[in-house]
Every structure is written in C-alpha cells, then in structure tokens.
Amino acid sequence: MGKLLEQVSSPYDLKKLPVPQLQMLADEIRQLILDSVSKAGGHLASNLGVVELTLALHYVFDFKKDRLLWDVGHQCYTHKIITGRKDKFAHLRRADGISGFPSPAESQYDQFTVGHAGTSIATAIGMALGEQLQKNTGYRIQDTEKKPATSDERRETNKIVVVVGDASIVNGVSFEALNNLGLVKRQLLIVLNDNSMAIDATVGAMAKYFSKVRLSQTYEDLRKTTSNILEHLPGIGKSVEEAMERIKKSIRMVLPASQMFESLNVPYFGPVDGHDIGSLIKLFSALSQLKHPAILHVYTKKGKGFVPAGLQPGKFHSTGPFKMNGDQVQTLTDKDRPTFTDVVGKHLIELAEKDTRIVAITSAMCDGTGLPEFRKRMPERFYDVGIAESAAVDIAAGLARAGARPVVCIYSTFLQRSFDQIFQEVALQNLPVVFCVDRAGLVGADGPTHHGLMDIGFLRMLPNMVLTAPADQIEVRLALEFALAQDKPVVIRYPRDLVPPQKFVRAACSEPFRLGKSVVVRRAKGAPIAIVSYGSVLTEALKAAGLLAQEGLPADVINARFAAPIDQTIIALLGQGKGIITVEDHNLACGFGSAVLELAAAGNATSRKLDAVRLLGAPRRFIGHNSRKCQLMEAGINADEIVRTAKEMLVENQVGI
Amino acid sequence: MGKLLEQVSSPYDLKKLPVPQLQMLADEIRQLILDSVSKAGGHLASNLGVVELTLALHYVFDFKKDRLLWDVGHQCYTHKIITGRKDKFAHLRRADGISGFPSPAESQYDQFTVGHAGTSIATAIGMALGEQLQKNTGYRIQDTEKKPATSDERRETNKIVVVVGDASIVNGVSFEALNNLGLVKRQLLIVLNDNSMAIDATVGAMAKYFSKVRLSQTYEDLRKTTSNILEHLPGIGKSVEEAMERIKKSIRMVLPASQMFESLNVPYFGPVDGHDIGSLIKLFSALSQLKHPAILHVYTKKGKGFVPAGLQPGKFHSTGPFKMNGDQVQTLTDKDRPTFTDVVGKHLIELAEKDTRIVAITSAMCDGTGLPEFRKRMPERFYDVGIAESAAVDIAAGLARAGARPVVCIYSTFLQRSFDQIFQEVALQNLPVVFCVDRAGLVGADGPTHHGLMDIGFLRMLPNMVLTAPADQIEVRLALEFALAQDKPVVIRYPRDLVPPQKFVRAACSEPFRLGKSVVVRRAKGAPIAIVSYGSVLTEALKAAGLLAQEGLPADVINARFAAPIDQTIIALLGQGKGIITVEDHNLACGFGSAVLELAAAGNATSRKLDAVRLLGAPRRFIGHNSRKCQLMEAGINADEIVRTAKEMLVENQVGI
C-alpha cells in the first residue's frame, strides 16, 4: 500500500492532505485497485476512471451527513477504499471480504445496494423530497446511521450528489427521473461521468450527441469551461439565479450546452476534465452552493492508468483474475470448458447463417451474452440498444411482427426490467421471440443484485410462453433449434457457468426437444424416488443418484427440459407411488418445483397424491457475494442436499421402498 | 348513424369522399362515439380528440399494407369505426362486441393489442427494422394478414405510422426507443398527439416544455407552420435532406423547434392544428415521402365536441355509462357502495393527517387510485410523476431512505413495469414502502391488457416483502394501519370493485392485522373442508360455505389476509385431515394457492399430507373484455366453483367426512 494511502482511513484523513498531494494518492489507489482486481476479478476499467473524481467529491462533501449515490454502483472501489474499507479491499468480492457494489450493511457511507443502471437519479429525488418534507412538515427522520447526526446539523448542511455514467443516463428510468427533477426545490448535484462506454460502447442518439460534443473539445476548451463556471458562480449570499444565467450565456459561447438537459429544464454545466483534481474540488465547492438541481458533465477515461484496460475497456469492464507478463495481460482461469454463454453465441451464429430471419438483440451486454462474433459476422442482424432492456424487448416484438426471428440476449436479473413488455408486446400477441436468458440462477461474486432467481416465476405466469432450460452443451443447441422453430415465444435459461464436463453428457440429452417433454436420463429399477432437475443442475441430480446408488438407494433422474408447460409424465410418477425431488437454480417461490406442485394439485393428473414432492431451490432471502459453488451449497442446490432430502423422504415418509 | 358514415365501411369508402365532406363525417363519428360510450362506458375524451387526425391518416395511407400503431391504444375508436367495425361499435367493451383497444384478432388493421403506454415507438422501430432486413437479406415475411399483399407490393409501399400522446412520450420506454430511432434507415412517421393530458394532466419537465410551446402559439402561428412545412417539402425526386434543412431553418424562425427531439437527432415538424383535416391530409402526404424517421407535433383538444369532456377531461378519460340531462351529465351507475379505491383514498387521508411522514405517489393515476382529495388537502405530500411507474417506485425508495413513509398507488397491471425497481431499490434495501395495488385481479371491460393477475407472483418472490389483501371495507383500514407500522415493504392489493355489502362484514375481520396471521371467519363443527380465501373473494367463500351448509356439507372459511408470509396454521389444517380449497383473484400460477402448496411441501409443517389441496384462480390464458362478474365466472373464481370443487373433493378423494 502506498505511503499516502496508509495515512487515509476515512474521508477526514483525506481532507487533511493538501490538494497537490491528492494526485499521488490517486496513483496509489489505482495501484491498489489493479492489485486487488488482478487477484479477485472485478470491475476494473470504470473504477480506474473515477479515482480523481471520487477523491474530489470526498474532499469537498462530508458524506457522513451528505449523501453520495453511485448509479450502477460498480464504480465505487475508490469510494470504498477511502471510507474505511481499504484493508478489506484485498478480499474484494469474496465471502470473507467486501462486496463489489455499494452496501449500506458495510458502511454508513453507502446509501443503496445497487447493481442495475439508471436508478440513482430517481432515488436521489426521493431522498431530496424526503429532506424537503422534513423541513415543511417537521417530521423526524428515523436515522439509520450508526452515529446519527443531529437533526439540526442535517437540516443545515445535508447535500445530495449522484454520480451517473453516460451509459446509465440513457436508460428509461433515468429519463423518467430527469423529467421529474423539477419536483426538487433544493440542492441536488448530478455528476454525469462521461467515458463513452457502458459495458460496451454506449449506443443511441444521446451517445452520439455526447460523442459529438466530446470530439469537438480540446483540453484548452475544458479548462476554459471550468474557469468560466468558477468565475461566474456566486459567493454565498449573491444571487444564484443571476449567476446561472451568466454562466449559461458564457458557456454557450464556447459550446452549445446540452439541449437535452436544457429542454428538460435541468441547469447544465460543463464539460470539464474529470482527472483534474484541483479544478474538480473548486467546481464541487462552488456547485454545492446551488439551491436547486444541476448537472455537471465530466469527462473521464475508462481504464485510466492501465494501458490494457484503456485499449480494451469492454474486456476489462468486468474481468476475472489476471497477471501482467511484461506488457501482456494473461488471464488466469482454469477454464478448460466453454461457458454456456460461449456455446449459445457459437450456435446462434451457425443457426443465423442458415436462417436469414434470425436477428440478435441485446442491451449493452454484447460481450456478456457471447455475441461479439455474431456482431462481427452479421452486423446487419445485430442490434445493441444500450442500457434499454424494455425497448430491446419491444423492438424484438416489432421485428417478430414483421416476420423476423428475434433472439433477445439479456441477463436474467436485467430481464426483470422487461417484464411488462414481455407480457404485453410478446406474450399477449403470441409472437415468436426467443429469449436467451443468460446468468440465470446464482451468479457468484457479483452477489444479490445480479442473481437471476426470478425468471421462471415471472415468465411462467404468462400465457403462450414456453420455458425451457438446457442441461448441457448439446442441449443448448437443441433448445435453440427448438425455440426458433416455434410460432410462439420461447425462453431459454442457462447459468453463468461452464458447461458440464463431457462425461456428464447423456444419450437422453441428445434427443431433439419436443414441446413440454422431459427425458429420463437415468432409470433405476424399482426406484422409490425420482430426481427431477431443470436445466444445468442435472449434473447435481446425476451425482446425487450416483451417491444414493452407492448406498443401495436407487433413484431415477429426469431432465425436465420444460418449466412451461410441465410434462404430465412427471406428475404421473406420483401415481406410480414414487417420491419426487425437484431441483432448480432458482427461487423456490414460483419456480419449476412450484409449477410441478400446481399441476399435481390441479386434479387432472392420474393421481393427486402429493405426499412425496420436495422442492430444492433458493430460499426466500438474499444470498451474498461468494463463489457460485458456495452459493449453490448455501442455497441447498447440490448433490449433497438432494441425497439428504432423498434419505429424509425414505425414512420419514415411508415412500414405498 | 349519420348519412355519410352509413356509406363508410372501410378506409376505401373513406377515400372516395371529397375532402370538404370529411369534417361532416367527423361530426357523425363523434356522435356515434358519444352515443356508444354513454351507454357502455369507455375512453371518451381522448377519442373525441383524434377524430380528424384518424380520418386524415386513413385518407392518406393504406393501412391494409401500411402499418398504424396506436400508443396506449385507448384512442382507437374512430379507427375501429372506419375499419369495418362501426356496426359492432354499439357493443363496445361488451363480451359480444369489440374491445376498447386495438386487437389484431378483430381486424387486420390492428397491429398490437395494447393498453400500456409508451411502447409503440419501440415496436414500430422493430417493424421498420424487419422491413429493412427483408430488403437486405431477402427473407420472406410470414404474413399474418387475411389477404396478404404480395411481397413486391409491400416492399415498395409499406409505410409505418405511430400515434403517441404527449403523456406517453415521457415514459421511459418511449425515451429508450427515441434514443434508438437512428437504427431505422427508412420512413417512419411519429405523430405526437399533444393534448396536454394523460389520464390526468401531464406532469414533468417535458410537459412543461410542451405547454410553454403550446401557450406561445396562436392559431395563425399553426397555419404558418403548416404552410411552411408544405411549401418546403420536396416533390418526389427532389432532395429530401436539403428540403429538411430548409424547413428546419424556416420553422426555427417561427418557433424554436423542440430541442428534445433535435438533441436526439429526430427530425421534428410542427406544431400544427390536429383538427384541420385538409391541412393534415396535405402534411401526411408530404411527410410520407421522407426516407427516414420524423416527428410531426399535432395539437388536439381532448374531449373536443362534447363540452363536459372538454371541461373535465380527467373525469371523461375513462367513464362509465352516463346520460345528458340538458347540459348536465348524469352518471348512470348502481353504485350504492363505495369502491375499494374510494375507501383506500379516504383512509389514506385520515392516516396522513395523523402522521406527517406519509406521502402519496402515483404515476398518472390520481383519479384512478382515489387520490384527488389527498392531493387537494395535502399537495406538499402528493407526487404524480406522470406515466413513469419505474421512477415512481425509485422516488418512493429514496423517500423511505430519508425517513418518510411513501405509499405508492399504482394499478396492478402497470406495477409490472416497476418489478425491477421494487426488487432492487425496495426489497433488497428492505425499505418501508407501502404499495397500494389497485385493480388487482380481473378488471372487466378493459380486458386482458389491464387485468392485474400477476402481482402476487412477482412480488412474493422478493425477500422482505409482505403481501396482504383486505377482504372488505374494514380490512382496508386495518391493512393500511398495519402496513404503515411495519419497518419493511408491504403490498396491499384490492380489486376494481365495490366493497362487499355490509352484511358480509364479519367480526373476525375487525381484528387488527398481525404479520402473517389469518383469521377464521366461519367455523363449522367437524368440517372436512376449509375454504381459504385471499382478499375480497372472501365473499364468494362465505357464499359457498352457506350453499354447502344448506346441503349438509359443513365447511370452515378462513380469510388468509397474507400471501407472504403464509400462515402456518393454514398448513396445519392438513394435519387435521381437512381438505383445503384456496381461492384468489389472481393467476393460479405463482399465486396465493401456489404459495400454500410450496409451504405444505416444505416439510416443516405438522404434516405434509397434500392429498386435498385444490387451487381456484385464473387459468393460464388471456381472458377477454367482459363484465368483471362474468370474467370471475369464466375463470372459476366464484361460489359456484368453490361448491363444485368441494363436492368433488368429498366424493372423489374421500376427504374425511
């Protein structure tokens, strides 16, 4: 750890340093981030870009009482390092360490646990309205801080700052919030951190607009803008409004201020250099005096200070462990098999080469959903709409209505944002849109904001939707072929994981998918129990069956393949007197097992005898950052838990043996 | 029916009329809409506003091959009348008549069944991309029309027009779509129908901007703008781009063109008078020649031609049957009891008067959720954020984080748009936000886009969330008091219905709500069956128990009150050898009954004997427009179905009797 950083354990230590030393501190922090992320993986490029910005914010504001909100949240590493968490930073994203996102449970300096983009402006508006309300009505804030400031202190000085990226601000939720910013009649500073990159390069008209502005700027221009703002901002007591007008006018001479924000009636300042700590400090000091919301547009360089990240910010957006080999980055993974994502990406290309109706759509997740090669090979059939999951689904619906075969590739957790569009524009119209739901299930180090544990539930309520999940590499291909041949919407879910080793591939899993039909993967003569798995957890089901067999307890293993519709033959097992254990990488509530229960209770099965249905899945609580394997263990979604459950059923419930 | 309208059974008949006769036709259509809506109820004000606009569109375009998309869709009456549905129009919104929203099942002139706002631009982009793709790759459109145009015909002439209101265009999905409009490299005309009203007056910065523009316009200005556009638009063959530039420049002299759209790089024309059919026809003819997307800003008057609707467009947005009594409107309802909405609105005021931390938030549903009186009495604690359901929830989360007690009032169907925000900003943070989920369950005449059949499912998956449903008027108050006293998020759901008659109010329902505790409403000695109802369907459960008792079949009735957490005493009934029938006004999939099954299967109940759990709820298919009562019957959510099920269980399954 660098010498200056050793002295800084809180923002108060930071404030003791003279401004000229802050750049040195920034360099030390950058080194710590690089060291830690190279070991543990994490969000690299975005964090390297905001070191100076974060230091300047903490230098000016006092976020023990002021409020700092990070949009998306993955760029909070510097913030964590200087708010008492530098020692735990080596254990970033590990079960025994700190999370990679803001976390009020970790620190009073964090306001919201976030990981999805575009929400911070709206939550900041809410917090500002709460403060206004407190003043107007005199209600007392029930303070959640460990050391609460007195009500008077907070009433006088509480400021709110939001840092939002150029990729997040184009999200619909951001826009809805900006459109309502007029509700706020007090200070609220929005720092627009413009690095022209989301996970992938930001797309869309607003991004083009930003980029046009950006390209027309020289460093000299940025300095001029900065001094211009500083020159005209009023001292305390002077008329803020008048000064604002002067600034606006003079900035307009340098550069047309952002029309977007002006048309939304949001005072806009900038752009300024986001790596010039001294100027940022002056700007924040001045802007903090405003009595109304304002936007400061700041340019930063994603991956600054680490050449490979600067060159490939997409790759280093969220990275696994790596090490430097001279100038070369060497990725450290034990990846001897492809991921489900890799396999989906590969087969989509092959299928799209044969069927020109196939179109791939994603929302700022091209790399993450395995589509870079698709984009390269078939750019005219690839659409990245930016962080706009809702619009992505509606555009897909329109494409399907016009005869195309859209494949929407979005992470399960982000697809939650498209629920209403999947309902109205896809399911209600019964349009053939295919959803490749990546990172479905527990996701590992990203933790609770990123788990995909609800997709089966919210999607299986929708009439017309077919829900399927491949168990292995071969089934990925079969599921895609099946999905693209349907005249209705089909969902394919798969985890953030490697495909199972080849030895797990079963002959039964090579049969083509037939709507609503499961396959028997292992049949044990006279088995009293059937393990019915949905998706890639088939490997755990097979392991469990193997372990049970070793103890002389035979069990069938069934690969359900479909969560909607459920195969009636699964229900029929109950009529044969078998006990059923359902296994899924999803919430127990509303999941695959729940669907099995509903059908069994519906009375149209051969038997409604339900004495022996047990569900395995994630419990109804948030599961923290950890390795995916540990999370599956914690949730009881693995072979050991299947074995334990099977034994319990056999002993306690006297399932026929 | 008017004389001209008698001659018009299709857009082809319309095109035969000389332009000067169209206003007369418009007047006749207005009369038909008034007659029909006064009898059947429906969306009045918005439809009266777009008569001329609709006629002009059909006069210019040929929507048998061109595509017309109505955002929200409730303004499609004129469109329906002139596309072969005028005779069925008297039966609007009735089971034997046509729906109040676009419906591809009714007509090839309709593209999407919609009812939620803000989606049309995105779906239009998708359709336009599909057309582009067809050209680029040569794939054949699988045409869904009854009389498909040949591929060549469509390739040459297919135009796409979207009509979107000023209230819808501020929605996040609209913005995400506008930001991606650059994907489209062909004609796509967006008609911005600006009447300055959503369900309630449009709010937010963009609305203010529109209103500023609007107020600065005289009729003379509108004429100037119109002639200016017409003068400069090119004939076929002339340079479109060049003409565009000329128009933009000359319009800017009259009025600064909308910065918003220009910053998003969308060519903008207008504003023009939306009731001047002749000019509209000329404009549409000219703008249809553009080879790229464009926006035409049109002013219309909501409720035009019907004085009461013009004066009270909020009231006449969606109205029940009424009749005219001279100049006075007399509402025709048999409403002898208040609605659940009324009761919620009343109690919220009383509670907010005692607790200054309580804040009400809605998204353009102030009237619909019973809040006008709250807004009037406590304007400083009322926020309407416009059609921005996602931001509404995030603002509430911020308020709760700042110590306030926000109550979010949104219809169940629209709350689907906030799913991800409820997950991340509310449930994950465990913030005390109260959700008043209005119109939960089947909604009657509005039909499938508006049913609230999924809220239990998507909300009960979320850790920390408490789900409750009052059964009657008294329980509404108790549920609100309970919810506001919790330190966690609570959902209160209730239907679009009158509260039950006083005779149904039971003593048991007067007990204060206790977290996760059901109440026994009727206990019959030795009853083999317990009817467990969730929410207002308690009345049906009681009716059923009465009917069963008449036949000598005793049944307990339990008011569950909570869907999360589920009361263990319900599961314990199984251990007592009782059969359970769950009843809910929600999808069977993922609903209350499903949660009961999950808990029963979890093995921590006194018995896991499930032979006798039967679920009643809506099936997994879309239920069309009809009266709410008929829909409940169709879905099997009523006393008769409970009785039938109880008898079946007693006979077939030999539940102990």
Which of B159, B224, B301, B302 is flagged as catalytic?
A: B302
pLDDT in tens, A377-416: 999 999 999 999 999 999 999 999 999 999 999 999 999 9
Question: What does the alpha-carbon distance between residue B256 and residue B610 come to, in Å, rounded to a whole number?
Answer: 69
Asked whether the CA dihedral A457, A460, A465, A466 is positive or negative, the reply is positive
Question: What does the alpha-carbon distance between residue B454 and residue B432 come to, in Å, rounded to a whole number?
Answer: 22
Q: For residues B418 and B387, is the Cβ–Cβ distance under 8 A?
A: no
Nearest to A162 by CA among A151, A173, A153: A173
A532 Cβ neighbours under 8 A, 6+ residues apart:
A518, A541, A558, A560, A570, A573, A580, A581, A582, A583, A596
Q: Confidence class of residue A606 from pLDDT cuts 50, 70 and 90?
A: very low
Q: How far is A72 from chain B (nearest CA, A)?
A: 11
Q: Which helix (H) or strand (E) element contains residue B570?
A: helix B568-575
Instruction: Give the strand pairing for B293-299 and B490-493.
Output: unpaired
Say how many CA atoms lie within 13 Å of B27 toward its Cβ: 7
Question: Nearest-CA residue of chain B relative to A427?
Answer: B622
Q: How far is B129 from chain A (nearest CA, A)?
A: 6
Q: How far is B333 from chain A (nearest CA, A)?
A: 31
Question: What does the alpha-carbon distance between residue A559 and residue A475 come to, in Å, rounded to a whole number?
Answer: 11
| pLDDT for the residue A51 | 97
Nearest to B130 by CA among A615, A401, A584: A401
Sheet containing strand A579-587, edge to edge, reads A519-522, A555-559, A529-534, A579-587, A613-618
Q: Using DSSP, how many helices (H) and how many strands (E) does chain A show?
A: 27, 19
What amino acid occupies position A161?
A: V
**Chain mean position to CA A508:** 35
- Residue numbers in B near A258 (CB within 8 A): 263
**Residue B458, CA distances (Å) to A87, A419, A593, B595, B636 in order:** 39, 10, 16, 12, 22
Whether B389 sits among the annotated catalytic residues: the reply is: yes
Phi, psi dihedrals of residue B410, rounded to the nearest 5°: -140, 150
Q: Which helix (H) or strand (E) element contains residue A493?
A: strand A490-493
From the list A115, A356, A461, which residue is nearest B454 (CB)? A461
Instruction: For chain A, list the domains and their CATH numbers.
Output: 3-307 (3.40.50.970), 340-493 (3.40.50.970), 517-651 (3.40.50.920)
- Residue numbers in B near A141 (CB within 8 A): 402-403
Q: Where are the alpha helices (DSSP H) in B180-276?
A: 205-215, 219-232, 240-254, 259-263
Instruction: Give the strand pairing for B382-384 and B405-411.
Output: unpaired
| pLDDT for the residue A419 | 98
From the list A123, A263, A414, which residue is nearest B425 (CB)? A123
Do B395 and A115 count as a contact with CB atoms less than 8 A apart?
A: no
Q: For residues B585 and B632, is the Cβ–Cβ distance under 8 A?
A: yes
| pLDDT for the residue B214 | 66
Chain-wide mean pLDDT for chain A? 88
B272 Cβ neighbours under 8 A, 6+ residues apart:
B222, B225, B226, B229, B279, B280, B283, B296, B297, B298, B299
Which of A86, A304, A375, A417 is flagged as catalytic?
A: A417
Q: For residues B51 and B26, is the Cβ–Cβ distance under 8 A?
A: yes
Instruction: Give the strand pairing for B466-468 and B562-564.
Output: antiparallel
SS3 B644: helix
Say how many CA atoms lie within 13 Å of A633 toward its Cβ: 6
What amino acid occupies position A582?
A: T
From the list A112, A419, A648, which residue is nearest B419 (CB)? A419
CA angle B430–B433–B435, rounded 5-degree value: 125
Residue with tokens 């079969």: A478
Complex-level ipTM:
0.93
Whether A417 sits among the annotated catalytic residues: the reply is: yes
From the list A122, A178, A390, which residue is nearest B398 (CB)? A122
Higher pLDDT, A269 or A422: A422
Residue of B135, B175, B262 to mutate when probing chain A, most A C-beta within 10 A: B175
Residue with tokens 């390269």: A376
From the list A177, A178, A258, which residue is nearest B263 (CB)? A258
- Residue numbers in B near A431 (CB within 8 A): none
Q: Consecutive 10-residue runs of chain B (657 residues): their mean pLDDT? A: 93 97 97 91 92 98 96 96 94 91 96 96 96 75 43 65 92 94 94 73 72 68 78 58 60 50 80 92 91 91 83 79 78 83 98 96 95 96 96 97 97 98 98 98 96 98 98 97 98 97 81 97 93 97 96 96 97 88 98 96 57 90 96 97 93 54
pLDDT in tens, A187-214: 999 999 988 654 556 677 777 777 766 6
Cross-strand pairs, B382:
B360
Question: What does the alpha-carbon distance between residue A23 and residue A28 come to, in Å, rounded to a whole number?
Answer: 9
Nearest to A80 by CA among A60, A97, A66: A97
- Please give the average per-residue pLDDT across A563-570, as a whole number: 96
Q: For residues B461 and A454, is the Cβ–Cβ distance under 8 A?
A: yes
| pLDDT for the residue B603 | 66
Question: Nearest-CA residue of chain B relative to A432?
Answer: B142
| pLDDT for the residue B406 | 98
Q: Confidence class of residue A258 from pLDDT cuts 50, 70 and 90?
A: low
**Residue B50, CA distances (Å) to B55, B65, B70, B78, B84 in order:** 9, 22, 11, 8, 18
Do B173 and A134 count as a contact with CB atoms less than 8 A apart?
A: no
Q: Confidence class of residue A577 from pLDDT cuts 50, 70 and 90?
A: confident
B93's tokens: 């919104």
Nearest to B45 by CA among B272, B314, B277: B314
Residue of B69, B121, B123 to mutate when probing chain A, most A C-beta within 10 A: B123
Q: For residues B468 and B562, is the Cβ–Cβ distance under 8 A?
A: yes
Phi, psi dihedrals of residue B559, rounded to the nearest 5°: -95, 110
Question: Nearest-CA residue of chain B relative to A459?
Answer: B458
- Residue numbers in B near A171 (CB within 8 A): 172, 176
B352 Cβ neighbours under 8 A, 6+ residues apart:
B358, B360, B374, B378, B381
CA angle A503–A504–A509, rounded 5-degree value: 125
Give first-to-last CA distance, chain B, whole Å: 63
* DSSP class of B422: I
Specify whether the backbone of B296 is left (phi greater than 0), alpha (psi in -120 to 50) or beta. Answer: beta
Question: Nearest-CA residue of chain A relative to B103?
Answer: A429
**Residue A184, CA distances (Å) to A133, A167, A294 in order:** 11, 24, 11
- Residue numbers in B near A620 (CB within 8 A): 461, 463
Helical pair B538-550 and B639-652, crossing angle rounded to 10 deg: 50
Do A424 and B595 count as a contact with CB atoms less than 8 A apart?
A: no
B352's tokens: 């907010």
Number of A/B CB contacts below 8 angstroms equals 438
pLDDT in tens, A82-96: 999 999 998 999 998
Do A390 and B449 count as a contact with CB atoms less than 8 A apart?
A: no
Give the 3-state DSSP-derived string for B63-132, with helices as H, strands as E and coil as C.
CCCCEEEECCCCCCHHHHHHHHHCCHHHHCCCCCCCCCCCCCCCCCCCCCCCCCCCCHHHHHHHHHHHHH
pLDDT in tens, B38-95: 988 899 989 999 999 999 999 999 999 999 999 999 999 999 999 999 999 989 999 9
| pLDDT for the residue A605 | 44
Using a cut of 0.90, tell me whether the model's pTM lies above it.
Answer: yes
pLDDT in tens, A4-30: 999 999 999 999 999 999 999 999 999
> Omega before A104 cis (within 30°)?
no
Whether A302 sits among the annotated catalytic residues: the reply is: yes
DSSP secondary structure of A201-267: B--SHHHHHHHHHHHT--HHHHHHHHHHHHHHSPPTTS-HHHHHHHHHHHHHHHS---HHHHHTT--
Q: For residues B333 and B320, is the Cβ–Cβ distance under 8 A?
A: yes
DSSP secondary structure of A25-57: HHHHHHHHHHHHHHHH-B--HHHHHTHHHHHHH
- Residue numbers in A near B644 (CB within 8 A): none
- Residue numbers in A near B611 (CB within 8 A): 608-611
Question: What does the alpha-carbon distance between residue A621 and residue B169 come to, in Å, rounded to a whole number?
Answer: 37
Q: For residues B67 and B158, is the Cβ–Cβ distance under 8 A?
A: yes
What amino acid occupies position B290?
A: L
DSSP secondary structure of A329-340: EEE-----S-BH
Question: What does the alpha-carbon distance between residue B653 and residue B641 come to, in Å, rounded to a whole number?
Answer: 17
* DSSP class of A311: H
